[in-house]
Chain A
Amino acid sequence: MRKQFTEVLVIGGGATGLSAARDAVMRGFKTLLLEKGDLAHGTSGRYHGLLHSGGRYVVSDPHSARDCIAENRILRKIIPSAIENTDGWFVTTPEDDPAYADTFLAACKAQGVPAEELNVDVLLNKERLLNQRISRTIRVPDAACDSFDATHILAHDIKARGAKVLLRHEVIGLEIRRQKVCGVNVRNLLTDEEFLIETSMVLNCSGAWAGNIAAMAGGFLKVTPGKGTMIAMNTRLVNTVVNRCKLPHDGDILVPVGTVSVIGTTDIPVESPDQYPIEDWEVEFLLNEGEALIPGFKKFRALRAWAGVRPLYDPTAGGKTESRDLTRSHAVIDHQARDGVGGLLTMVGGKFTTMRLMAQDLVDEACKQLRTKRPCTTAETPAEAPGTKHYYLAQRLNRWEQSHAQHTALTDPIICECELVPESKVRAGIEASQSKILNDLRRDTRLGMGPCQGGFCAYRANGIACGMLAQTPEDAHTTLAQFLQERWKGQRNLLWDHNLRQLELDQNIYRNLLGLDHTVDTADIELYPTEKTA
């Protein structure tokens, strides 16, 4: 078995893990990150896309609100191209208590979240679909953040700083010597190769899966996966974030992110972070809540429903209490103090917006345990080139149109028509990842995320990948079927009108026209979480 060594080993390739790895490598640690799937494969890639202003928490959780507004300002500087400066509004619909807006404004003031109540016409003239009976509108600095872009930027930065990022590598066990974690046993899920990585400090950033890692150290850590379901509407019904002006509740937010607008979320504790089907009532509920914001909401095309699992940490479970400030939404678990096993820290709780702060707290604690003083510099150092601008929706269209205008023939044909992904991008994505898994390509390029959900791009991308990576036809068929099943999964709860017609067309293309059912046994294909290939 081959061996590797790293000073800091981060488990988890989501927002938290990548931020932690960035923090560690910037403090001069030799750093390695392990992810059993792809970047943003877990909860980060399944979030609604809101960069919180803190407004959502000013009344219910003031501490989080202060964290959010501070981190909102920082993230805009360090990952600008993943963020669209949409602004956000808290609106009082006829279903909400108008007096809450006063409580809200006072709380914003107290927590330092900039909030300004404006005449309702300012918003209603801009957002023509919104409920014309909205009575109060308060503007806050919410923004939209694409988590795939964000995690890709962080991963790129980490690698440029010398850290290693290993995707499709699963932790199968911890090496514990003298009550201290000194290494991690790893399996490469694509090759089944197993090896040991020695390390001085393991940072467990596996979110809803954190309990599994803690268990490997003999600790009992109760992380309750909290399912949050959301629905992407086919277009941007609004171009600014719209929140219901009331105490945080299910289905209270509509976020324009990329080409879609996302209504979210529900919040239901589930048993396993790997099994959490979406219930029909959740879909019904979210669409009904949408009606309060946009009358006729249900008539618009609901494109895809998905769920993520929040890593909700229950400090009282297992009969142990933590020394950390429990009112905070995230906490660093020191397994030395808790379970008597050193060299392992777990991050629990938290939210996407505060990923950098979480990483700072985590690596601060790691430094303390490693008995070294190294200041955190992540807040001041952008992960992108100076002068990088914020994202805006028409960016992709602009880029394509400008290149198209220079050519008389289509030199760089569009592969994914819905999300305007040209062949050059597809090739660059496959070249960089060397992954034949089309879902990885999707996270890299947004391929297959538009209205047809892969109907017209999957076979094209599959053909390109097959040629570039010298796949066997059997392999390529399986890859294609896996991708389609994953795409179709998100449509299953939304099969009426548009989506039903779309799925019928897509299924006919692949199953009847291209005969996919005859080339692979679709029943055998494993879906989430690992998209493992045979």
Chain B
Amino acid sequence: MTVIDISSLETTLSSDQCIKCNICTASCPVAAVTDKFPGPKAVGPQMQRLRQPSAPSYDKSVDFCNGCGVCSLVCPHGVQIAEMNAVARAVQMDRDGVPLRNKMLGRPEPLGKIGTLTAPFSNLPLALPPLRWAMEKTIGIHRKAPFPSFTGKRFRKWFKSHAPENLIGRRKVVYFHGCSTNYYEPRVGKAVVKVLEHFGCKVSIAEQNCCGLPMQSNGEFDAARELAKSNIAKLMPYIRENYVIVGSSTSCTLALKHDYQNILGLQGRDVEMIAKNTFDIFEFLDDLFTEQTLNPQFRRIKDAVFYHPPCQQRSHFMGQPATKILRRIPGLSFEVSTADCCGVAGTYGLKAEKYQISRDIGETLFAQIDRHSPSRVLCDSETCRWWIEGHTDVESIHPIELIADALPR
């Protein structure tokens, strides 16, 4: 069995550190709204002691963990709770088989390829209520779960045809755009490229594939490892040429920074180099401004927006760099969300049995948005944006799009 290898064994054995203090459970957004999830302490370090590699076991409540990772962050004793849960889910799926629904949600890339080829027609089925009802009954994707629309022109196609502003930039950046930018929201990628080039970076887009996180969180570790290894192989030549990897999806970059090693258990110098040289777009910009003592000027934007930092951004240990940069835009007023989580957690909230849980988690955020009635919601993570837009009817964009707008013309 390859699901648990020696490095995930270290994760599972971190249950030794748990003294049952319940801080994780008190911070868990899922446990707060449902009894179906007994909480991170229960399904993590507690049940870990009762799991047995060789024996069949019915171990399903761990699947209600939405993977937000707050438990691991708040644990004062270093128990890798969220990581342990991801491993336990993968072991369970390895034993029982991965449901078709999870396999679909785990593969945004092949879906995206077909979807973009046939857009806008490919967007029709998802808008048809009877079909959505049938999808819920057959494969378990909730009929109300919001999906993004496929775009006709992929981001990579646009990039190849765009005239770079900066060919000999001071900083060399390889942009990890991820699946969502390529197939659904090329506008985010365009904004990233525009901003990076404006600030003197040479931007390249390496050959790349899905980061593997959707597969990982849907329980397919082996397949996710293959994607990870492929990305490492494709990105390493750039690292050797002193490029840094910059991403605009906090979940993709977290996979590169953390999950490849700490959840999928990959080891070696390459994966460490990738982790060390991967940055979130705002983390990168903030560093760049500090390093080069830049004092960038932005155009005045008279607008009131609402910023929701995605929950998994906390696992980057970088604070909220987007707020630092947004603050530089004259005229812009923005509220920062105090909600822990929007609820969707990647593909979690799309699933029929979890949709209501995700809605209930999101209520806090939706109420805040409603109170402030912003013109737009800013959020760094694509699945959060789609979820928020679907439940508040407020347009949701990546904060980099606003920055790109505010660049002097």
A residues contacting B by CB (< 8 A) are 128-129, 234-236, 239, 259, 300-301, 392-394, 396-398, 401-402, 404-405, 407-410, 414, 417-418, 420, 450-452, 455-456, 498, 501-502, 505
Contacts and interface: CB of A to CB of B under 8 A. Distances in A.
Given A394-B55, A417-B41, A451 B19 contact: yes
A420 B46 contact: yes
Contacts of B55: 392-394
* Residue from A409, A451, A505 having most chain B Cβ neighbours under 10 A: A451
Given A418-B20, A501-B19, A398 B57 contact: yes
Nearest to B6: A128
Given A397-B58, A451-B18, 19 more contacts: A234-B15, A234-B49, A235-B13, A235-B16, A239-B54, A300-B16, A393-B50, A394-B52, A394-B57, A394-B59, A397-B59, A398-B57, A398-B59, A417-B20, A417-B42, A417-B46, A452-B20, A455-B19, A502-B20
Given A398-B57, A404-B61, A405-B60, A259 B50 contact: yes
Nearest to A417: B46
Nearest to B5: A128
B51 A414 contact: no
Interface in B46-90: 46-61, 77
A235 B52 CA distance: 11
Contact of B48 (A235, A398, A414): A235
A408 B35 contact: yes
Nearest to B46: A417
Contact of B50 (A397, A402, A405): A397
Interface string B19-58: 1110000000000000110100110011111111111111
B9 to A, nearest CB: 6
Nearest to A455: B20
Contact of B19 (A404, A420, A502): A502
15 contacts: A129-B9, A394-B55, A394-B57, A397-B50, A398-B57, A401-B60, A402-B58, A409-B35, A417-B46, A418-B49, A450-B46, A451-B20, A451-B45, A452-B19, A505-B20
A394 B16 contact: no
Contacts of A129: 9
Contacts of B54: 239
**Chain A at the B interface: mostly helix, strand, loop or mixed?**
loop
Interface residues of B, number: 33
A394 B42 contact: no
A239 B52 contact: yes
Given A402-B58, A455-B20, A128 B52 contact: no
Nearest to A404: B61
* Residue from A235, A392, A397 having most chain B Cβ neighbours under 10 A: A397
B375 interface: no
Contacts of B118: none
B42 A410 contact: no
B67 to A, nearest CB: 19
A414 B56 CA distance: 22
A99 to B, nearest CB: 31
A401 B52 contact: no
Contacts of A300: 13, 16
B242 interface: no
B33 to A, nearest CB: 13
A238 B55 CA distance: 14
B58 A450 contact: no
Given A128-B9, A398-B57, A408-B35, A420 B50 contact: yes
Given A410-B35, A418-B46, A420-B46, A397 B19 contact: no
B333 interface: no
A401 B49 contact: no
A401 B59 contact: yes
A498 B48 CA distance: 17
Contacts of B35: 407-410
Contacts of A236: 49, 52
* Residue from B42, B58, B77 having most chain A Cβ neighbours under 10 A: B58
* Residue from B16, B48, B60 having most chain A Cβ neighbours under 10 A: B16
Contacts of B47: 397, 420
Nearest to B53: A239
A528 to B, nearest CB: 25
Contacts of A397: 47, 50-51, 57-59
B61 A401 contact: yes
B52 A392 contact: yes
A402 B57 CA distance: 10
A456 B61 CA distance: 22
B51 A394 contact: yes
Contacts of B338: none
A404 B50 contact: no
Contacts of A398: 57-59
B196 to A, nearest CB: 44
A498 B60 contact: no
A407 to B, nearest CB: 8
A17 to B, nearest CB: 31
